[in-house]
Amino acid sequence: MTAEIINGNKLAQALRAEVAERAAQLCEQGEKPGLAVILVGDSPASMVYVMNKEKASKAIGIHSVLEKYEEDLTEAALLERIRALNVDPRIHGILVQLPLPPHINTHRVIETIAPEKDMDCFHVVNAGMLMTGMPRIRPCTPYGVMKMLESIQYPVVGSHAVVVGASNIVGKPMAMMLLQAGATVTICNSKTRDLGHHTRLADILISATGQRHIIKGGMVKPGAVVIDVGVERDKDGKLWSDVEFDSVREVAGYLSPVPGGVGPMTITMLLVNTIEAAEKALQAKRVAS
């Protein structure tokens, strides 16, 4: 079997056209959607991510503000900036790019973002709402993966999904969203003993560990959907991901590649979240007036 490739670029393009339409409608009604992205330090990988986010936002008509700060920015200064953005009516969404420098308490930073402006769904209020089945906002990468499964009309209900990686950014919320969509979910991590035993049971296999080629063809159930989330660039600039593409392609039914898979979908779902936040803000203003 040779897997069908899930083209994240193509799917993202189609969704962005819809989002641009909603952004135009908001602008017509005097509520231009606004997104602030904060980057602290000069990590090249983070820089690429935030520039891509800004470019995509501007392309669909979002008022995008990219704030770059030096590595030695104090936590107090960052919290003060977030508090100002929380009450800025032109800004509907805030994203603080992670990881932050070690002298800054990431938890405190996330909890300072107003929950209704937390575009990542990292705030405990939003994570709790997701967990209890009442999501107000959905985390961008898992949301993008769900859209990919939807695009191939995969019957998630009753399927066995295995998520490898248990981060707050991807693994945990991914497992929660699959569970709520009716899958039976196993959560593994890079240290799981006999990982292949678990992954071979997966109808849907999602890997987000950041460990190079942790998933190989022999660890995949024939016909499974495999979504590759983990990605890193080595010192020579070569891109590595969790899934060994060539061997897995021969076994899986569907495979999401790197690049051109989850990456563009994550950015797209950030745009969707920003538009939804702006739509809610407009609705709230109308109710109040």
> Which among 10, 29, 42, 53 is annotated as catalytic?
53
Q: Which stretch binds ligand GUN (CB under 6 A): 51-59, 71-79, 91-99, 219-227?
A: 91-99
Q: Determine if 120 is a binding residue for ligand GUN (CB under 6 A).
A: yes
Q: Are 61 and 23 in contact (CB under 8 A)?
A: yes
Closer by beta carbon to ligand GUN, 174 or else 183: 174
Q: Determine if 229 is a binding residue for ligand GUN (CB under 6 A).
A: no
The SS3 of residue 128 is helix
In the chain, alpha helices (H): 8-28, 44-59, 75-86, 106-112, 124-131, 140-151, 171-180, 195-199, 245-249, 262-288
What strands lie across the sheet with 4-5, from one edge to the other?
A: 4-5, 254-256, 225-228, 204-207, 160-164, 184-188
Smallest gap from Cβ 214 to ligand GUN, in A, equals 18
Tell me whether residue 216 is one of the annotated catalytic residues.
Answer: no
Among 15, 82, 95, 214, binds ligand GUN (CB under 6 A): 95
Q: Residue 204: how many CB atoms within 10 A of its CB? A: 23
The structure tokens 């977030």 sit at: 82
Among 20, 27, 66, 98, binds ligand GUN (CB under 6 A): 98
Q: Determine if 31 is a binding residue for ligand GUN (CB under 6 A).
A: no
Pairwise CA distance, residues 142 & 122, whole Å = 12
- Binding string to ligand GUN for residues 125 to 154, with x set by CB under 6 A, is what? ---------------xx-------------
The two tokens of residue 219 are 């660890």
Give the Å distances, CA to CA, from 40 to 59, 103, 158, 232.
24, 11, 43, 19
In 120-261, alpha helices (H): 124-131, 140-151, 171-180, 195-199, 245-249
Pairwise CA distance, residues 120 & 125, whole Å = 12
Q: Determine if 272 is a binding residue for ligand GUN (CB under 6 A).
A: no
Closer by beta carbon to ligand GUN, 183 or else 267: 267
Q: Determine if 187 is a binding residue for ligand GUN (CB under 6 A).
A: no
Closer by beta carbon to ligand GUN, 99 or else 223: 99
Among 57, 64, 97, 211, binds ligand GUN (CB under 6 A): 97
User: Dmax of the chain from CA atoms?
Assistant: 61
> Which among 118, 120, 228, 242 is annotated as catalytic?
120
Q: At what angle do helices 124-131 and 171-180 cross, to 10 degrees?
A: 30
Smallest gap from Cβ 196 to ligand GUN, in A, equals 27
Q: Determine if 51 is a binding residue for ligand GUN (CB under 6 A).
A: no
Smallest gap from Cβ 3 to ligand GUN, in A, equals 25
Q: Determine if 228 is a binding residue for ligand GUN (CB under 6 A).
A: no
Known catalytic residues are 53, 97, 120
Binding site for ligand GUN (CB under 6 A): 95-98, 120, 140-141, 169
